[in-house]
Amino acid sequence: MKNVFLVKYGEIAIKGKNRYLFENRLVDTIRKSLNDLGMFSVKKEQGRIMVEPLAEELIDEQPIIDKLSKIFGIVGIAYGLKHEELSMEAVKELVYAHMQKECLDKTFTFKVETRRADKRFPLNSMEINAQIGEYVLEAFPGKLTVDVHRPDRILMVELRNSTYVYSITHKGAGGMPYGTNGKATLLLSGGIDSPVAGWMTAKRGVEIDAVYFHSPPYTSERAREKVIDLGKKIAQYTGGIKVHVVPFTAIQMAIYEKCPHGQLTLIMRRMMMRIAEKIAVMNGSMALITGESIGQVASQTMQSLVVTDSVVEMPVFRPLIGFDKEEIVQISKKIDTYETSILPYEDCCTVFVPKNPEIKPRLDIIKRSEEILSDEIEEMIATAIGEMEIVQMI
């Protein structure tokens, strides 16, 4: 008898020919993310991934469940017991041990449900359910009652190459296995929105790296650290992330000195997009991601977003486009980026916020303003990229 985590995955099951690629990636991600919690065997088995601790002594399951529940592509995690044999004796042995642990000082209603992946088993599911239900009632007299309609607990028996028993399935993160849907570059600021936008895209299996524009001394070292901390939070879900810290002060100052102030934010945002696109190409990314949502601030009106977009050739994904701030805040709390995001270290945009920002910019006018910068800007961009710092988080 052994402890085991049964990992259930959903959507990837429908991916036809690609299925094994998705499963293999999920297995890799699980191995990687459990690395610092001990030694595990991680194996595919007929629509499940089985994670078995290799240590002899009893392990604390909660940290492992916490880790697994952050991995994209997993819909549920059950912690249970495994027996190498496939027999009613094995089922009873596991059920007894499992219920003994679960029934301590509790009374509850239950029912048994059997999944018979190995059809060679002599009894059918209904017969197994009935026999095991009866066995449990006899083994734990007075404590438990059967309720087939609304049980407190469903005692699951799975008959595969081995026998498995569990009764609680913890919710997984859902989505698709990380790294199975191409790569994109996230413009990561220290705010609430962009980490959420990154998480949402990564949840669909897209590998992400990040770019942060840093403007010392207008943005402090603490602001930079905050962004790195947000990168680490995202890395808990993705297994790692590369954050490019791009020195942005010179470009920002040039814009500030030479362009109409009402257009500052927009021209700055366009510069960010240009640079991010170059970094994306260097990294094999196919798209950019931002945390913008329509109408949230002046630089996010429809007109502004269109003007921002037109400076790059890559598609720009904005997963939060239709979200209200409150909805974004809720997700950021759920994924644990909120507390870091609200730390009061200014981002570069708040330093150079114009008093009367343009809310309906026209592309031709913005382009004309940018022409004043044209002879120096390419060189400034090259310098910024040349001097960027790369922080790799695992």
Binding site for ligand ATP (CB under 6 A): 187-189, 191-194, 211-213, 272, 290-292, 296-297, 299, 347-349
Q: What binding mask, one character per residue, do residues 324-363 give for Mg ion by CB under 5 A, x or -?
A: -----------------------x----------------
The one of ligand ATP, Mg ion, none whose footprint includes residue 238, by CB under 5 to 8 A per kind, is none
Q: C-beta of 300: minimal distance to ligand ATP in Å?
A: 6
CB of 240 to Mg ion, least distance (A): 24
Rounded distance between C-alpha atoms, residue 276 and residue 287, angstroms: 10
Contact (CB, 8 A) for 226 and 345 = yes
In whole angstroms, what is the distance from residue 95 CA to residue 114 CA? 12
Minimum CB separation of residue 253 from Mg ion in Å reads 19
Residue 305: closest CA among 237, 370, 297? 297
Residue (201 or 290) nearer to ligand ATP, CB: 290
Which of 80, 151, 191, 198 contacts Mg ion by CB under 5 A? 191
User: Which of the choices Mg ion, ligand ATP, none does residue 194 contact, using the CB cut-off of 5 to 8 A by kind?
Assistant: ligand ATP
> How far is residue 231's CA from residue 394's CA, in Å, rounded to a whole number?
10
Closest CA to 195 of 205, 208, 204: 208
Q: CA-CA distance, 80 to 48, in Å (whole number)?
A: 13
CA gap 138, 94 in Å, rounded: 15
Query: Which residue matches tokens 């904005």?
Result: 318
Please identify, using beta-carbon distances, which residue of 26 and 186 lies nearer to ligand ATP: 186
Residue sitting closest to ligand ATP (CB): 191
Q: Rounded to the nearest whole angstrom, what is the least distance from the CB of residue 199 to ligand ATP in the complex?
A: 12
CB 136 within 8 A of CB 99: yes
Nearer to ligand ATP, 189 or 236 (CB): 189
Q: Where are the alpha helices (DSSP H) in 204-263?
A: 221-238, 249-258
290 is a site residue for Mg ion (CB under 5 A): no
Closest residue to Mg ion, based on beta-carbon distance: 191
Signed CA dihedral, 358, 363, 369, 370: sign only = positive
Applying CB under 5 A, the residues found at the interface with Mg ion are 189, 191, 347
